[in-house]
Amino acid sequence: MASTHVRFITKNSLQQTMSAVRSTLSRAQEKQLSALLGHVKLSLLYKASVHGYANATFHAKCDRQGPTVVVAYNKKGLIFGAYTNKDYAQSGAQIADDQAFLFSFNSQNHGQSPLRIQPKLPQQAFLDGNTGPNFGALLFLNGNAAAVVSTPGSLYNFEAAEMHGGDLVLTECEVYRVEDLGGLLEKPWRNILWSSEKTKDLMKFVENYRPMVNGVRQARILLIGPVGVGKSSFFNSINSIFRGHVTSQAIAGTAARSLTTQFRSYHIKAGREGKPLPFVLCDTMGLEEATGEGLHLDDITSILRGHVVDRHQFNPLVPLQPDSLGYRKHPALGDMIHCVVYVLDSCKVNILTPKFYEKLGEIRRKVNLMGVPQLVLMTKVDEACQHVRRDLKQVYHSHYVESKVEDLGRLLGIPMACIIPVKNYSQELELDQSSDILLLSAVQQMLRFADNYFDDIYLGEDEGSRE
């Protein structure tokens, strides 16, 4: 398998030496840019500090090069720019590009998720003139100088403070040709049927599932993950499938801090007037790297053992105590967690910090000691791979998604078979069959893993204790 690390190839004119034209990006910054672009090779076409800040030079080196990305740097430590899938050709026209976007990230905050802004209208992605790269809201190399013109709201909406911090004088500007290395595999790396019959079979499996232990009516599945990865959105998506339309019951969004502050046990009905399904999705505060923020590790242990009641308000500084109000002192097996699911963003697999993965590793060790099976949901696969964005059914043909699953398995020490790519409902108003199949397949695996838990609990005991 080829490495997913972004590789850079510099191109020199006859007048410059190879050492003069080198990427300014550090290895960590390359990973942040890679999180936006996917499995690509970047060839450095233009470097303003070497070639000059002249618009004519930019066009001489970058016109008709196919997909390119502009990368600008300022003294505030922000790295920002723009990607287009189209050629620069000085046509004077406004160019349509449904894959174009602006981006920004902090050069020092390597664990930060890059800002990504799509055009207000794909039909108006950038202005193909004889100026520097002109994306309406951002015009680079203004006046043949190390300067940017910023007009948020023109073609793209963004906050200036987030995009460039108000510093419009550049310390460097580079343009790279973007070559897709991901491609599509001829044979899928995981087989799945994409049909309405498959959707019905999966829904029937879920509705007919029953825990194999007397006294336990529903399998309890705990979702754990950092802020903004889609834990609450996963519940909303599964709820939407069984309601027959897109709905939103759990609070979900893109805030920097967890929108979920309580422990929630979400029950799903088989239709508006139907009976509750035989599983419960348990949502928690988002995990955060810093001490005193996000879900406390001791609270996770209490949740696994069934001590935490529904709607308990978490305190990141002080975990739940046995004498606390709402502490369940004598939980039954049906109150405990039967499967743990880690929820992670496909686009952030390689930019989460080692410290964060250490924290996940500590949680995994706690869960292992308690004998609870573990799975991983890899969300937002459509944002990670352009082929999957165009057609979700290509998810298991995507070389890049496969490589992300491999990376995640290595970082967490989990087999690839335990990692499931999904796409939650976020902006859609109608259900989509391909999304449903991925989501329901994930639930099916969770219930199968819960059965493994019940098997282990009662291994060697009298069969009379089972249904």
| Separation between Cα atoms, residue 304 and residue 339, nearest integer Å | 9
Residue 349 corresponds to which tokens in the numbers above? 């697999």
* CATH C-level class of 196-465: alpha beta
**Residue 188: how many CB atoms within 10 A of its CB?**
15
**Environment class of 207 (CB within 10 Å of its CB; exposed 0-12, middle 13-18, buried 19+):** middle
**pLDDT at position 250, please?**
62
**The model's pTM:** 0.68
Mean pLDDT of the chain: 87
Decide: 346 and 27 in contact? Cβ < 8 Å: no
Specify the pLDDT at position 323: 84
pLDDT of 465: 46
Which token pair is 183? 């491609």
What long-range pairs does 103-108 form, CB within 8 A, spacing at least 24? Answer: 103/33, 103/36, 104/78, 104/79, 104/80, 104/162, 104/163, 104/164, 105/29, 105/32, 105/33, 105/78, 105/79, 105/80, 106/77, 106/78, 106/79, 107/26, 107/29, 107/73, 107/77, 107/78, 107/79, 108/77
Domain layout of the chain by residue ranges: 7-180, 196-465
Q: For position 34, what pLDDT does the model report?
A: 80
Q: Six-digit token pair at 57? A: 């030079």
Cβ atoms of residues 347 and 116 within 8 Å: no
* Residue 35: predicted pLDDT: 79
- pLDDT beneath 50, residues of the chain: 1-20, 253-258, 460, 462-467
Contacts of 255 (CB under 8 A, 6+ apart): 227, 228
Question: What amino acid is encoded at 466 in this protein?
Answer: R
Quickly list DSSP for 140-169.
Answer: ESGGGSSBEEE-TTSSS---HHHHTTT--B
Alpha-carbon distances, residue 345 vs 12, 257, 379, 421 (angstroms): 37, 16, 5, 10
> Which residue, chain included where needed, has tokens 């004088």?
169
Task: Give phi and psi for 421, each to the nearest 5.
Answer: -75, 140
201 neighbors 76 (Cβ within 8 angstroms): no
Nearest-angstrom CA–CA distance, 15 and 436: 57
Sign of CA dihedral 56, 60, 61, 63: positive
pLDDT tens digits, one per residue of 184-206? 888 999 999 999 999 999 999 99
User: For residues 125 and 155, what is the distance between their CA atoms, to the nearest angstrom?
Assistant: 7
Closest Cα partner for 127 from 49, 54, 44, 55?
55
Closest CA to 378 of 410, 351, 401, 396: 401
R_g of the chain, CA atoms, integer Å: 25
Tell me the residue type at 458.
Y
- What is the distance between the alpha carbons of residues 126 and 118, in angstroms, rounded to a whole number? 11
